[in-house]
Amino acid sequence: MRMFDRLLADRSGNFGLITAILMVPLIGAAGLSIDFSQALTMRTQLQGAADAAAVGAVAQMSPAMKKAQTMTGDGTIAIGKTDAQELFRSQLSGEATSFPIDVSVDVVKTGSVLTSSVTFQTRVPTSFMQILGQTSMPISGTATARYETPSYMGFYMLLDNTPSMGVGATQTDIDKMKKVTANGNATGGDKSCAFACHIVSTSGVEDKSSYYNVARNNGVTIRIDVVAQAVKALMAKATDTQTMNNQFRVAAYTFGKTAQDAKLFKVAEINNDLGKVATATNAIQLMSIPYQNYNNDQQTSFDDALAGIKDEIKGTIGKGTSDADRQKIVFFVADGVGDSYKPSGCTSPRGASGGRCIEPIDVKSCATLKDKGIKIAVLYTRYLPLPENGFYNDWVKPFEGKISSKMQECASPGLYFAVSPTEGIAEAMQALFMKIVSTPRITS
């Protein structure tokens, strides 16, 4: 017992003893850092291989992919898994090729979307941590990729051709129009006007002194002219974009030929022949009115136009997997300000005046279409502010800041584009079209 007490009381050699005792955890800690760093490097390589395999499983347009595109049923696609596993292995180098790795691949089709998922797991041998009895470290990871196969689509072009679309197409046209109307040289017209009102006489003949004819006689291009040209150009773009026969079908409508008969006017029947639709765009013209302030200028009813287009869309609202399962898209081009008889439910801050409602688009009409599964692509041709105009200041300016946001709310997610009078409507229309079709799209 005394010998044990003397051993405890003896302080000589304690540093060496303590150092020896601490060496094991110190070496283990250092080894943990080194082994963890090596495992992290290995996982980075394996994750890169998984990313490549996931993308390759859906993006390499192999016979298996082409077969998947024509399938109408959803579910797992067995073909392609082997290719993905081989692609995973081909990405490995060095030590990663020397130990077993468990790799699983799933490729699933849902509608027109193919999704692949590549999961890997393995154990990486350790070096220093073996001192602590840890001979390996587990690592794992998952990579996913999505490919949207080309979809069959039906487009229903809804084009606002009401008097506000008679504004000059560019700032140069606006300035020219104001200059040539500076003396009020159109019957009944306001002085210095940027709009080309399309007035016809009671006999049905165009009034030669109307601002519409002033615009035509002075080489002023108005916004509806550019819209018509843009639709024609879009048909050529759509034809070039198709990757399958009859992939796109298109119909075109305006809000009406005349103010006396302001209802949906069919410019072109739904058609696979986009060349015929392009030819039909010659009928896209500014709505005519018999005289200024006809029907209290209530010619722009977005509610009626959207309800009318809903009735025009026949058949199944599909996912785009086949000709019989087409997606249906309303391609809506307008300046966002309604002017119609709407004695109740008017969303204007000032309400309706004598039943006349001047308001930003009422998105309830858009929701009715979207609730049916119909997508709405909106090209907002920005409304032209007229700060020198008393009517504009009284009735439009109070909600001017909401016009753009309401048009965007009307659109389906991601399918909104705005263009000002000085920007290219044709380019904007094609950009929006490409956002809709955008095939293929791969995300990983």
The secondary structure of 367-407 as a DSSP string is HHHHHTT-EEEEEEE-----TT-HHHHHHTGGGHHHHHHHH
| Whether 369 and 232 share a structural domain | yes
Question: Tokens 């599964």 label which residue?
Answer: 373
| Whether 293 and 167 share a structural domain | yes
Instruction: Calculate the CA 222 to chain-centre distance.
Output: 27
| Whether 159 and 288 share a structural domain | yes
Q: How long, in residues, is the chain? A: 444
Domain that holds residue 164: 153-438
Q: How many helices (H) and strands (E) does the chain have?
A: 13, 13
Q: Which of 110, 443, 145, 162 is nearest to 294 (CA)?
A: 162
Task: Enter the pTM of the model.
Answer: 0.70
| Whether 161 and 93 share a structural domain | no
Query: How much is the pLDDT for 132?
Result: 67
Please give the radius of gyration of the chain, using alpha carbons only, rounded to the nearest integer: 34
| Whether 141 and 177 share a structural domain | no
| Whether 75 and 179 share a structural domain | no
Of all residues in the chain, what percent are helix, strand and coil, respectively (each to 5)? 45, 25, 35
Q: Helices 400-410 & 363-371, crossing angle to 10 degrees?
A: 10
Residue 36 structure tokens: 């963890």
Strand pairing of 248-254 and 153-159? parallel
| Whether 84 and 169 share a structural domain | no
Positions in the chain whose pLDDT score sits under 70: 1-32, 59-73, 77-80, 111-112, 128-132, 148, 183-192, 202, 209, 421-422, 439-444
Q: What is the DSSP letter of 120?
A: E
Strand pairing of 248-254 and 265-271? antiparallel
| Whether 170 and 215 share a structural domain | yes
| Whether 79 and 158 share a structural domain | no
Residue 35 structure tokens: 């082994």
